[in-house]
Structure formats: structure tokens, C-alpha cells
Amino acid sequence: MKVEGIYMKKTIALLLSSAVICSLLSGCSGGGSSSQSTAAEQTTKALESKAEEKPVQTTEASGTEWPEKTVQITVPYKAGGGVDKAARLVCSALEKETGKSFVITNKPEGNGIVATNELLKQEPDGYNLEIVSVRDIFGHIVNGIEGVEYDKDSFTYIASLLEPADAIYTQDAKYASFEDLVAAAKANPGGCTIAIANNTGQQVLDIIDEQLGVEFNGIVYSSGSEAFADLLGGHVDACMVATSFCSQAFENKCAPVVTMTSQKYDILDGVPCITDLGVKDAVSPMNRLLLGPAGMPQELVDAIVAQLDGIYVPDGELIQQINSQYDMPTYLTGDALKAFIDENFAFRQSQAGNQ
């Protein structure tokens, strides 16, 4: 892998191509994800079409004004992680768009389960919402994690805000490639440590172990920022965190050596995807979802989406910020979001069943 090429790579173009977005989304279930691909194809047109739809989708048309007061946003992770970064980008843009305050509270206790349980007890009035990774919230459900009080129908799904991918990072001087990391793990079973942002990431690592015939020692953290910090400190051999950590990695002589995708990331020259290396079942989207408790009226959801439409515009500041942190502006609402939710949940169930 030529790390120099990565360092010199400039910020991703403002709008990702349709092929890139579709391939990354469709990779979540190998060769049998036609419905998932359909949702992705709808997504690629969203940024252009939303601008045309916006005059129809307004708070006045829905008869509901939102927001009329401060909005509380719970992030069930520690500050500094991938979901927290996404929440701060979007909430900052919404504050500029609406003139109202959006207060972010980080509640990482119990791998985010405590905060999500609390969301169910909130009034479905649009003023207590959560931003979470789809992989984590569905992973908790399908794997029967202790303490989970919610299921797929416990939420009002408002939007997919953006899509990162996980990558495995190493310090440049220690492992130049993922193959080097695998060789170290085979030479010393259980001795090669990988810091993982949460317990659902451990499931992905287990799949890698099984399909490559290795035994990595996964260490679960409560946030990506903590996992990444231990890589920088030399306390672990590698870490598995979101692509939004790429900029920090390059600044600290670290680099991604493989992405958890079915296609190579165009902006990461020389970095293979996990399917290139013979692992077919470790790919899955990690879309950042905006959720509310079940029972939110459709008119209220429409009013929130109308405000989101105002910040998800081609050439807009938010899109540039999302691209610059190596994420994709995969903005889904309405039918496209429902298709994604249904197919992704089915995929998580099949993934859990294969463990």
C-alpha cells in the first residue's frame, strides 16, 4: 500500500458518484441485496431532487411548525466519536437554518443502551431525538444484548444523515498492510490486539477471524475516539473505527489498511476493501440515523424533514463538511429510508443467525 498517495489525496468531490454510493450500500449483504441497492439508487438522486421538492415539503404545507423551541439531541456515545461528529455537523447546520438551539448530550453508558431505552419514555413531540448508528441499534436488538428494552418498531425513523464505513487502522511503522497484520495474528494467535469502538464491531471482527482463519484479540471501547487514542498511544496493534478518523490518522503517522466495504473507497488510494481479501460477510452500512420515539405524527416528521432538506443541498456547506471527513452524504427520508431500514434489519438478523 502506498501511503504517500493517501496523504496527498485532496478532499472528496462535492457530490459522490452514483456508482460509488450504490456499490458501498449494496455491499451490505453480498450478492443478494437487490432491495438494498434500490434504496441506494434512490439516495443518489436525493440531493438533486430535494431542492425541487422543497417548495412542496414545507412546515406551512404540513400545518406543523418545527422547531419552536430548543431541541434535545441524545448521542449514545462519548464525545469525539464518529456519531458524535455527525451529530455536531448536522445540528450546527440546523441551528443556522432554523435559528433555534440544538443541545447535544452524550450518554454512552451501557454501550448506548441506557440512552436509547430513555428515548422510548420521551414524548413523541420532536423535541427529544437521538442520533445513532444503524449497525449498533439493530445489532443490540438482533443479538439480544442484555438490558435492551426496544425493538425495530420502538422508533420513528426520520432520516439517514450520512454514511461512514469502518476501517482498520495501524501505525505506519508497524504494519504496512492488512496482510502484515493478518500474518502477525497467525504467528501469535490472540496476541494481536485491535481496539474496537463498540460491541457490535466485535461481531464484525469475529467474522474476519472465522473467514481468514486467524484469532485477533478484540478490545471493546465505549467510543471510537477512545479506541483511536489507544492506537496513537501504541497500546494496541490496530483499531477499527470509522473513516471519519482518516484525517487524524494521516496527521499522526497512522493509516487505514482495509475498509469494511465491498468496493474500494476512491479517496483512499491503495487501500483494499475487506471483500478483496476474501471476507464476504463483514460488510455492512453504518448510517447515522435521526430517530424519535414511536408515535410521532407524520406531519411532524414532514416538518423535520423540511428543515433537513434546507441543509442537504448540492454545493451546500454541510455536504462539503461531510465529504471532507471521508463520509458519504447518504441522506434518506420517506420511502427510501423505509426500504433501507427494512432491508438493513433483515441483514442484521441473518448476520446474527450466522454467528
Contact 76, 115 (CB under 8 A): yes
Q: What is the number of alpha carbons within 13 Å of residue 49 lying toward its C-beta?
A: 10
Cis status, amide bond into 189, omega within 30 of 0: no
Residue 159, pLDDT above cutoff 60:
yes
Which stretch of 36-40, 94-98, 111-115 has the lowest confidence by average pLDDT? 36-40
Q: pLDDT confidence of 223, banded at 50, 70, 90?
A: confident
Phi, psi of 207 (to 5 degrees): -65, -45
Residue 316, pLDDT above cutoff 60:
yes
Residue 41: predicted pLDDT: 43
Q: What is the DSSP string of 13-34?
A: PSS--HHHHHHHHHGGGTT--H
Residue 3: predicted pLDDT: 34
Contact 315, 332 (CB under 8 A): no
Q: pLDDT confidence of 222, banded at 50, 70, 90?
A: confident
As given in the structure block, the three cell numbers for residue 80 are 469525539
Residue 295: predicted pLDDT: 98
pLDDT digit string (tens) for 230-262?
A: 999 999 999 999 998 999 999 999 999 999 988
SS3 call for 44: helix
Residue with the bigger pLDDT between 71 and 260: it is 71
Residue 19: predicted pLDDT: 36
Q: What angle do CA 20, 343, 310 make, to 5 degrees?
A: 60
Residue 7, pLDDT above cutoff 70:
no
Residue 327, pLDDT above cutoff 70:
yes
Residue with the bigger pLDDT between 120 and 202: it is 120
Q: pLDDT confidence of 139, banded at 50, 70, 90?
A: very high
Q: pLDDT confidence of 352, banded at 50, 70, 90?
A: confident
How many Å apart are CA 84 and CA 131, to the nearest integer?
Answer: 8
For 279, left (φ over 0), alpha (ψ -120 to 50), or beta? beta
> What rounded mean pLDDT belongs to the chain?
84
Phi, psi of 273 (to 5 degrees): -95, 160
pLDDT digit string (tens) for 169-198?
A: 999 889 999 999 999 999 999 999 999 988
CATH number for the domain formed by residue range(s) 166-277: 3.40.190.10
Sketch the domain layout of the chain as residue ranges.
71-163+286-353, 166-277
Q: What is the DSSP string of 178-214?
A: HHHHHHHHHHSTTTSEEEESSHHHHHHHHHHHHHHT-
Residue 285: predicted pLDDT: 79
Classify domain 71-163+286-353 at the CATH superfamily level.
Bordetella uptake gene, domain 1 (3.40.190.150)
As given in the structure block, the three cell numbers for residue 97 are 437554518
Residue 100: predicted pLDDT: 98
Residue 347: predicted pLDDT: 86
Residue located via cell numbers 461531510: 322
Mean pLDDT of 140-145: 93
Contact 33, 26 (CB under 8 A): yes
Residue 36, pLDDT above cutoff 60:
no
As given in the structure block, the three cell numbers for residue 71 are 431541541
Which of these, 89, 25, 40, lies nearest to 244 by C-alpha position? 89
Q: pLDDT confidence of 52, banded at 50, 70, 90?
A: low
Q: Spell out where 186-294 has E strands.
A: 193-196, 217-220, 238-242, 254-259, 288-293
Residue 333: predicted pLDDT: 98
Residue 310, pLDDT above cutoff 90:
yes
Residue 4: predicted pLDDT: 34
Residue 172: predicted pLDDT: 86
Mean pLDDT of 304-325: 95
How many Å apart are CA 122 and CA 129, to the nearest integer?
Answer: 9
Mean pLDDT of 197-224: 91
Mean pLDDT of 286-305: 98
How many Å apart are CA 324 and CA 310, to the nearest integer?
Answer: 20
CA of residue 20 relative to chain centroid, distance: 16
Domains 71-163+286-353 and 166-277 share a fold: yes
Residue 32: predicted pLDDT: 35
